[in-house]
Amino acid sequence: MTSSTAPGSPESTPSEPAVRVRVAPSPTGDPHVGTAYQALFNYAFARRHGGRFILRIEDTDRERSRHESELAILESLRWLGLSWDEGPDVGGPSGPYRQSERLTIYQEHVAQLLNAGLAYRDFSTREELAALRAAQRESKEQTNYDQRYRDLDPGESAQRAESGESHTVRLLVPNDGECEWRDELRGITSREWSLIDDQILLKSDGFPTYHLANVVDDHLMGVTDVIRGEEWMNSVPKHILLYQGFGWEPPRFHHLPLLRNNDRSKLSKRKNPTSINYYRRAGFLPEALVNFLGLMGVSQSEGEEKLGLEDLIDGFDLSNISLGGPVFDTEKLRWLNARYIREEHDPAGLVKLLRDWAMSDEALERIAPLAQPRLETLSDWGALTVHFFADDVHPQEGDLTLKGREATELAEILQLAIWRIEGFAALDAERARELLSGLAEENDLKLRDLTRPFYVAISGKPASTPLFETMEILGSDMVRSRLKRAVDLLGGLSKKKLKALEKRHAASRA
Ligand code: GLU
């Protein structure tokens, strides 16, 4: 392993620029634990080296980016106790920090590449490219862009663009030789250029792709060290080509090992909840989650594993990272969490934790009207509302049924519900009602029959507090987690079924 000495560290020379690092989430879904892991490592690196930590929002995917998702990411990172020196909310000297507000910067940079002959316009239509891919698939070739516009005369290209013809701009990638670069954690790495497609840099709507925006921003924001997930390794050659094209010095690259499920597959919500909000709602403490993420990728030492943020920063050294994918072991997370609850809080402190978590007056006042009509004595409260204060609710298998339908059919409907909820900006009672009515109608079911298994999945019991309001109070993450557990309890869905179902889901969105 190579050491990752950085400027700003005691060994660095004074002339080198101070460390600047960033985390660059795309606001396209739930705040992911992987984002927190990268944010934490960047934060610790910046603190360790007396540098600055930037938060940049990469919202160039217009269809998938959502402002709510950006807010949720910022809020969940703050909950974890992380803070950034520059970002869309706090500003800073290199802003704006939201890529959708930097479009002219990218367009100017693309113009530079076009002028220098390092990029070219592609006038292929969507249909032509789809036909190309289909033909390549048919003849079992790799599906690559065939560079059909690469040699178009630049004058003609400019003229066609001027006349308003729709086009993208692609990076001119060499067809021979290889790209070699150094990863601070992995040493010298190389890739053959012939395996790399002429990457689209600017889409036909004038928005940049990830690659262009990422490189331009890392440079303009003075990022010295790119610390991110291993899944971006394959993008490095394209990025290096861009740095060279602009005449810029590339930053140092440190690709962190991916978080994995227990079976060593890439951490995915199919197997583990991945949303930070789920862990929060399930009663994990931010200190425990940060501690747990901080231990990821760091070779397990013999010593104390319960480490606060400051301890993590003090002992932080990227060169200690073990590259064998760290397992996101929820048992270990629970063990750590239990230690924080026991060791860091006296009973009064625990009461405060509980109140902040789900038992504030405000939270109880939202539950009270749902429980009140069903209480004969105050002591009925406990059994009636237990599902608001639990993670798993352990439904009886026999209760999880849909009148006249097979278990798989029910599992499919529950899975569709999960995906649809995922697409909602927020889950409120009205959306929940619409969701269930829609699913009932599409599946030729009475709403009453369909709500029953949802009650069971969400509250553990066939009858409970009103379903839609209950879903609103539990929130999107906890509801999805319970529906997912119900799908598993019903025997799960085979890969084939899931694929077919995904198509159905996509069609219903179109
Ligand atoms: N927007 C990318 C992501 O969502 C950033 C990758 C990078 O750090 O370069 O992970």
The CATH number covering residue 453 comes to 1.10.10.350
Provide the pLDDT confidence category of residue 17 given band limits of 50, 70 and 90: confident
**Atom nearest to 34 CA in ligand 1:** 10
Query: How much of the chain, in percent, has pLDDT values that exceed 90?
Result: 87
Q: Which protein residue's CA is at the shortest distance from atom 3 of ligand 1?
A: 25
Structural domain including 434 reads 390-509
Which of 323, 344, 365 terminates a domain? The answer is: 344
**What is the separation, in whole angstroms, between the first and last Cα of the chain?**
49
For residues 167-184, average pLDDT = 97
Which of 344, 363, 379 terminates a domain? The answer is: 344
Q: What is the pLDDT at residue 301?
A: 59
Q: What is the pLDDT at residue 448?
A: 95
495 is annotated as an active-site residue: no
d(CA 269, CA 453): 22
**Is residue 403 included in any domain, yes or no?**
yes
Q: 227: Cβ below 6 Å to ligand 1?
A: no
- What confidence tens digit (pLDDT) does each residue in 67-118 have? 999 999 999 999 999 999 999 999 999 999 999 999 999 999 999 999 999 9
- What confidence tens digit (pLDDT) does each residue in 429-454 have? 999 999 999 999 999 999 999 999 99
Q: Counting beta carbons within 10 angstroms of the beta carbon of residue 483, is it exposed (0 to 12), middle (13 to 18) or buried (19 or more)?
A: buried
- C-alpha count within 13 angstroms, C-beta hemisphere, residue 222: 15
Residue keyed to tokens 């109880």: 364
Q: 69: Cβ below 6 Å to ligand 1?
A: no
pTM for the full predicted model = 0.93
By most ligand atoms within 8 Å of CB, the mutation choice from 207, 228, 238, 256 for ligand 1 is 228
Same domain assignment for residues 418 and 477: yes
Which of 313, 329, 344 terminates a domain? The answer is: 344
Same domain assignment for residues 411 and 503: yes
The CATH number covering residue 287 comes to 1.10.1160.10
Q: How many separate domains does the chain show?
A: 2
**Is residue 17 included in any domain, yes or no?**
no
Q: Which protein residue's CA is at the shortest distance from atom 10 of ligand 1?
A: 25
**Is residue 491 included in any domain, yes or no?**
yes
d(CA 382, CA 363): 15
Single-letter amino acid, residue 348 = A
Distance 209 CA to ligand 1 centre (A): 12
Q: What is the pLDDT at residue 50?
A: 96
Provide the pLDDT confidence category of residue 463 given band limits of 50, 70 and 90: confident
Q: 42: Cβ below 6 Å to ligand 1?
A: no
For residues 396-411, average pLDDT = 94
Q: Which of 203, 269, 306, 332 is catalytic?
A: 269
Same domain assignment for residues 335 and 394: no
Q: 24: Cβ below 6 Å to ligand 1?
A: yes
Closest among 283, 285, 256 to 37, alpha carbons compared: 256
**Is residue 394 included in any domain, yes or no?**
yes
